[in-house]
Each structure stands twice: as C-alpha cells, then as structure tokens.
Structure 1
Amino acid sequence: EVLHVWSLKENATIGHLIEMLKSIERFDVLEEIQSSLAKDVSKYRERSSSPMPVQVPEVSPSNYPNLPTTSELHGITLQDDPEGVHKELFDAYVCYCKQDRDFVLKMVERLEREQSGPGGRRLKLCIDDRDLIPGTAYLTVTAELIENRCKRMVV
C-alpha cells in the first residue's frame, strides 16, 4: 500500500519514499533497503557522470556531398530541380527484384541506347539504384514516380 501511494505522487523520488517510511515509523524497512539503495545511487551516479556521446549538428550524405537537401518530394531523382519546379519525367519505372539486377541493367542500357521509343526516340527509364537520391523515403518516392512521373511501369 505504501509503495502504491508513493508511486502516485507527482515527484515520486527515493527521498520522498524514505520520508514517507519515516513518517509511518517503518524504520525496519529503511534498514532492510538501505544497502540496496546505496548500490542503486552509486550506479546512478556512475551513469550520470559518464560523458554523453558526441553528435554532429547536421547529418549529410557523405558519399554525395554536392547533393542538395530538399523536401521529401522535391529533388527525388539526381536530375530533379531541388526547388521542385522542373521534375524529371520517365517513359517507365522499372520494378525488379535484386536477384535480377544484372539482367535489368543490361536491358535498360539496351533500351536507352536504341531508338525504340515513340517517334524513334530513346527511352528514358527509371531504376532506383541509379536515378534516386540516396536516403529518400523509398516507398513514398516510388509511389510519386509511378503515379506522376512515369508513363508506364515495367515489371
């Protein structure tokens, strides 16, 4: 009952618990928990005195230092305008599993090299490994590409 009442207090500290036990004259309990409290206080002091980890104020993609930082749907591909005015458009989004990557890269290279698009122009295909800015919200960006920036989807 005492612990329950103590835990409901706004500032339920060990000091308040000790005061509560003293007020109801439970010195036997105080004696019994004294060594445990001393150990806990010692552990707490050790943890609180150790230095906090150093963190940098800003995280940036170290492999791509010249990439602009943009909102989530502006600048999602490497050729996008970071302000979102000129969005890169594609003939198709190529969806594939990682096991088929080599085949897909060969296919994309061939389709983009040959003039097989409408009117004899080269196709512009979107593949995530090559065209997306690293670190973007993958599912959100993929949905944006499929819905608004690619005319077709190739699976």
Structure 2
Amino acid sequence: MELMQWSGHSSPSSTLHYIRIRPTKLAASFVKADQMSHMVSVLIDQDVIARHSSDPYTFYDLGDSYCSNPFWSSCPHRMACAGCDFNVPKASARAQALESKASIGHYLEAVPLTADERAIVEGDLAKLDGLRRKLDDVPTLDGRTPSQIEAKNNR
C-alpha cells in the first residue's frame, strides 16, 4: 500500500503491473547470471566435519573422478586433474565407500569459468589442447607441474 501511495497509483493492480517480473526478463536474468558459471556437484562428508578431522570433506564430482581439493573451484588445473594427488577415481574403493556413506550431502556449487574453460565446456577441443599447453609449467597445489606429474606416471 505504501508503494502504491508513494508512486501515486490509485489502484493496487497498477502498482503490481510495474513491479511484476515478466517471464522474459526473468529468463534473461538467468542467462546473464549463468554466462560465466557452471554448476558442479559437490559431496560433503558430514562425518569428517563432526570429527573435526583434517581429512578432506568436500569432493567435487568431475564425472569419472572426485577432487578432494577444497579450493578446486579456484585451481588453474581444474580441467586436467587425472595425475593430481587430490584426484579420487570413482572406480576406487575410497570413492565407492564415500558414495555409500549415509552422512554424505549432495550439493551444487556455481563455479566461475574463464573464457578458455567456457570454450572447452562448449566443446572446443582446440581450446582444451591450448589450455593444457598453457598450464604445463604452472605448478599445481602440491608444487609439481603437470609435466612433472606426467613424467612420474610414465615411469
């Protein structure tokens, strides 16, 4: 009522006409909000939190594996996780035990994407190769570069 009086409208329907969100405007807002983010499934192990343990408790679902790095969303190597120490393959006993725990919460997290990552998500394989080359000598969180990890795995 206060808004109606303040705006000088004589009828509440006039005020509602101006403040109602139109479906097209709402859809445009969602598109704009999603342009630089991607939703990622995250498992949270409540048992680890309850124990106040230093064990990892967040596991980002990467499709064929999980990443136990709590800062995965800001990791420059998040598109190439296979050789990283934080990577937990879904076929492993650890991942299967994690998935079967009753204390696991399933959440979604919005992750901002760089322009290169956005192109990769949209299917540009040349961009994927370019990003991998660009990150070859950038250290991961454990201090090793992807080149060093690959060399260790090929031994």
Give the TM-score taking structure 1 as reference length.
Answer: 0.21
Q: Greater Rg, structure 1 or structure 2?
A: 1
Give the TM-score taking structure 2 as reference length.
Answer: 0.21
Question: Which has a greater percent of strand?
Answer: 2
